[in-house]
Amino acid sequence: MNNEVIILVAEDDEGHVGLIRKNLARAGITNKIIHFPDGQEILDFLLCLGEGPHREKDQAYVILLDIRMPKVSGVEVLRAVKSNPEIKKIPVIMITTTDDPREIENCHVLGCNSYITKPVEYENFVQAIRQLGLFLSVVQVPNL
């Protein structure tokens, strides 16, 4: 059994992905990261559909989701994950540019585990990523 948690990042902006990678590394998080450029690809991965890579049994995952993505939005991915008994225990963290309270509320209602606003002020972002690292080390990530 592989206990090393894999971080799944669904994010359409390559730049943001780079920043997330760099900052996770700077926060001391060295877990494997798989990047998906839109909501459809991460859903295919999780639901074992299509020709791309698929989720493995007995592997622990954490999902970082952007909200605004082409094809399938982050909110829809969140809804699909949380309504599927097989994968609903995977922690989902929304990382997005909006701090609209209604959007945040909506994500919490749908069952997201954490919500991080992508701040332009970099220090805040680093801080948020550190908290995420802390979160990842504290939260019990279930094996599937």
**Contact footprint for another protein (CB under 8 A):** 13, 15-16, 18-19, 22, 68, 97-102, 118-122, 125
- Give the residue among 72, 68, 89 at the shortest CA–CA distance from 140: 89
Minimum separation from the CB atom of position 22 to another protein (A): 6
Cβ proximity to another protein: between 61 and 96 the closer is: 96
Minimum separation from the CB atom of position 85 to another protein (A): 33
Burial of 92 (0-12, 13-18, 19+ CB in 10 A): buried
Cβ proximity to another protein: between 26 and 88 the closer is: 26
What residue type is 109 in one-letter code?
Answer: V
Residue with tokens 């926060």: 27
Distance of CA 68 to the CA centre of its chain: 13
Cβ proximity to another protein: between 45 and 125 the closer is: 125
